[in-house]
Amino acid sequence: MNNDNHRIIKELLTAQEAGTPVVLATITKARGSVPRHVGTKMLVYENGRFTGTIGGGEVESRVIDEAQLALDDGHSRTIPYAFVDPAKGDPGVCGGEIELYLEPFLPPATLFVIGCGHVGQALADLGHWLGFRVIVTDDREELAAPEHIPHADVYLPGSIEDALTAQTITRSTFITLVTRNVTLDRQILPLLARTPAPYIGVMGSRRRWAETKKLLLADGISEADLARFHSPLGLELSAETPKEIAVSILAEIIMLYRGGTGERMMEEGRKQKVES
């Protein structure tokens, strides 16, 4: 491994430990006259910053753009590129071709449970069983504790506002706000609106959510920020018990995380038969 690649791999490991999303771009094929060769690597961050180079110019710009797409959908991709147009920034070579493999490294899928009552406890237990990294917080300190929730990875008892400051929220963090009243939701939701979390679910009836929205709008929160919240949260299962409600909520999160539709598999099979 050359020195550049060694430095990039070390930086990749550091990013993983810090929970920073990055994309590793590697040249996997090269033919003809090309500026860099097979095995050359480049690391791209979500703000467009990068380490290393795979040739500069137009190809590097394209890799940075494609890296953002890979961070958004979490999927690896292969990019072919031909160095044919120096006017577009290709570094003065003609006829060469490369193929790049872009691999996103995202923070682990994390379930952030805000509120550790009966539903929060069930969510943490089920989230752990499903393989999520589980974070729990509650201003009732005795509830955000191993004695109450034995399978969480991170416990943040005390001020929920302090917990949100202490814990980095990433595009792999799924937030469930299962608090005990509208007053708490009103305080916490504005702090969550500008985070990169792909899911912010708020527990409660439609009536409770209508009241919460009315208060948030009066506080100055925008309609665009309100649109980020899922409430009532979960899929319609007619769930009643805390464990059933937790299944409903995690089902919705898995559906969004994996790109599912939420339809019954039997109904999906019928549609396919009709289309064929």
More confident residue, 101 or 194: 101
Q: Which CATH class is domain 110-258?
A: alpha beta
The 10s digit of each residue's pLDDT in 172-224 is 999 999 998 899 999 999 999 989 899 999 998 999 999 999 999 999 999 99
242 prior amide bond cis, ω within 30: no
Where b means 16+ CB within 10 Å and e means fewer, 171-202 reads ebbbbbbbbeebebbbebbeebbebebbbbbb
Determine the pLDDT at residue 2.
Answer: 72
Side by side, the strands of the sheet bearing 199-202 are 154-157, 133-138, 110-114, 173-177, 199-202, 229-230
Q: For residue 87, what are the contacts with CB-CB under 8 A and spacing of at least 6?
A: none
- What is the Cα–Cα distance from 27 to 19, expressed in whole angstroms? 25
- What is the Cα–Cα distance from 153 to 19, expressed in whole angstroms? 15
What is the pairing mode between strands 96-105 and 154-157?
unpaired
The 10s digit of each residue's pLDDT in 236-246 is 999 999 999 99
Determine the pLDDT at residue 29.
Answer: 92
- Domain(s) of CATH 3.40.50.720: residues in the chain: 110-258
Q: For residue 270, what are the contacts with CB-CB under 8 A and spacing of at least 6?
A: none
